[in-house]
Structure 1
Amino acid sequence: MLIFGDATFGTLHVVNEHTALLGDPRFDIGLDRGYPEIYQYLKYLWAGMILTLHSFRRAAWPYLSWASVFAYFLIDDAVRIRERFAGRVTANFDLIPILNLRLQDYGEMIIAATAALLLLIPLGWTYHKGPTTFRKFSQTLFVMVLMLVFLGVLVDVGHVAIERHVGEAIFFVVGMIEDLGEMLVASMMLWYVFAQSRTQFASPPGPKLWLKRLFSRTQWT
């Protein structure tokens, strides 16, 4: 169902861009706070809520580190942290743009790298302290995050770099690969978190076990 939603928004985007049937810019999958973007926000919100609820219901605190990752994705997409602060960051550096990139693009990469570092510190610590089930969960989800970063940062930068060197059709296709690819990966991430919630996260314990895990050495299990 999630992928069907992505495919629907991708189709509506193509129809909106190349025909006069819709004529509504909010169907653009690259538009801030357009219909596809709102759908993307909901995925991150749902995944973060599932992990947060699991963390508190089972006192499984390592999962809060992944909930914070989804919270960042949601805030970054909705508030546009990278785009809004990229210019301020690069203004303090004497950088000469290369590879047909803008100073804005360098700023976005710097902010993305900083955010990744800040998020990796608690993830690395909880991965080290967490149980085997959490480590396996993290390994799978981390691969998906790398896919999302590749599309959202590297392909995005490449998309900007080729704008003046390719035709309109190729530029449009690369943009579709970036934006629709991000939507598909986010769907995979939400599906994986939800699938775990139906198996590994199911059947929440009673208050006694919650308190035991909260105050005992087994709170990471």
Structure 2
Amino acid sequence: MRLSQFIDPGPWLWPRGASRDLLYLLWLGDLAFIILHLCFYRELGMRPVFSLEEDRSYAEFYQYTKELWLACLLLTVAIQRKQWLYYVFALLFVYFFCDDALRIHETLGLWLVETFGIEKAHGFRAADYGELIVVGVIGLGFLFNIGLGCLTADHRNRQVAIQLLGLLFCLFFFGVVADMLHVLLSRIRGFMAIFEDGGEMAVMSFILAYVFQLKRLGPEPD
């Protein structure tokens, strides 16, 4: 099999029917939290828990819910289709939940900084470099296992995996790349919070609707 055939995403599985309605509702929730963040940023009497940047904020708990739903849906899909790669995707979203709730990559990143004496440079904190290393190592581990799953999957399920990886790349952009830009562009912190966290929320909502559509299709890939 040629590489172009192996990585071919095929026809996109767009959310339809109930899945599309779910997506609109999720995006409506995302928009509500962005508006609440703007109210907090403009000092309109909102508490810090309404800020997108605050740890343990209402918006963050909303993301926790999506991640748990995704893990459960992907586990169901894995059982339906008997495909190893969906178990890996389910475990990935379990990790996302644990990482967000327990601050895993921040804690490990700080340990790397203290252990190896990583220093700040080029406008980034030392902790930023430590966190980036942790995210890279864990991400490569999951990517390797997804690749192994693709080798044993049939053509259509492999296409679905490629599509999910594309969506995860979008999530990576907002969660990691935009986060780094947030550090550099501190003068427009309010806008960058919406761009980073709002974008991450919108992409996670789309992934949830996508996987819900996948679950509705049952054991058949199409």
- Common fold, TM-score beyond 0.5? yes
Shift of 1:57: 4.3
Which structure exhibits the higher relative contact order, with contacts defined as CA atoms closer than 8 Å and separated by 6 or more residues? Answer: 2
Query: Is structure 2 residue 195 aligned with structure 1 residue 177?
Result: yes
TM-score (norm 1): 0.83
Shift of 1:58: 4.5
Q: How many residue pairs were aligned?
A: 196
Measured in 1, the distance between the counterparts of 2:115 and 2:43 equals 44
Helix, strand or coil for the counterpart of 1:33?
coil
Measured in 2, the distance between the counterparts of 1:95 and 1:62 equals 35
Shift of 1:62: 2.7
* Bigger radius of gyration: 1
Amino acid corresponding to residue 175 of structure 2 in structure 1: G
Shift of 1:146: 0.7
Measured in 2, the distance between the counterparts of 1:131 and 1:194 equals 20
Structure 1's unaligned 5+ residue stretches are 203-221
Measured in 2, the distance between the counterparts of 1:124 and 1:61 equals 11
Helix, strand or coil for the counterpart of 1:91?
helix
Measured in 2, the distance between the counterparts of 1:175 and 1:54 equals 34
Is the CA contact 2:27–2:202 (under 8 Å) kept in the aligned structure 1?
yes
Is the CA contact 1:97–1:103 (under 8 Å) kept in the aligned structure 2?
yes
TM-score (norm 2): 0.83
Aligned to 2:209: 191
Aligned to 2:60: 37
Aligned to 1:17: 41
Structure 2's unaligned 5+ residue stretches are 1-24
Helix, strand or coil for the counterpart of 1:64?
helix
Is the CA contact 2:170–2:203 (under 8 Å) kept in the aligned structure 1?
yes
Amino acid corresponding to residue 40 of structure 2 in structure 1: N
Shift of 1:144: 1.0
Amino acid corresponding to residue 3 of structure 1 in structure 2: W
Measured in 2, the distance between the counterparts of 1:201 and 1:45 equals 21
Measured in 2, the distance between the counterparts of 1:51 and 1:155 equals 27
- Cα 1:59–1:138 change in 2 (3 A) is closer
List per-residue Cα deviations over 1:67-125 (Å, max 9, x = no partner): 01111111111111111221111223243422211110001100000110111121010
- Cα 1:201–1:194 change in 2 (3 A) is farther
Shift of 1:189: 0.6
- Cα 1:61–1:103 change in 2 (3 A) is same
Query: Is structure 2 residue 98 aligned with structure 1 residue 86?
Result: no
Helix, strand or coil for the counterpart of 1:62?
helix
Aligned to 2:84: 61
Shift of 1:171: 2.0
Is the CA contact 1:152–1:182 (under 8 Å) kept in the aligned structure 2?
yes
Question: Where in structure 2 are the equivalents of 1:103-122 lying within 5 Å?
Answer: 103-122=126-145
Is the CA contact 2:80–2:219 (under 8 Å) kept in the aligned structure 1?
no
Query: Is structure 2 residue 120 aligned with structure 1 residue 97?
Result: yes
Is the CA contact 2:49–2:57 (under 8 Å) kept in the aligned structure 1?
yes
- Cα 1:99–1:36 change in 2 (3 A) is same
Helix, strand or coil for the counterpart of 2:107?
helix
Q: Between the two proteins, what is the percent identity of the paired residues?
A: 33
Query: Is structure 2 residue 169 aligned with structure 1 residue 146?
Result: yes
List per-residue Cα deviations over 1:114-164 (Å, max 9, x = no partner): 11011112101001111122111111111111111111111111211232x
RMSD: 1.5
Is the CA contact 1:32–1:78 (under 8 Å) kept in the aligned structure 2?
no
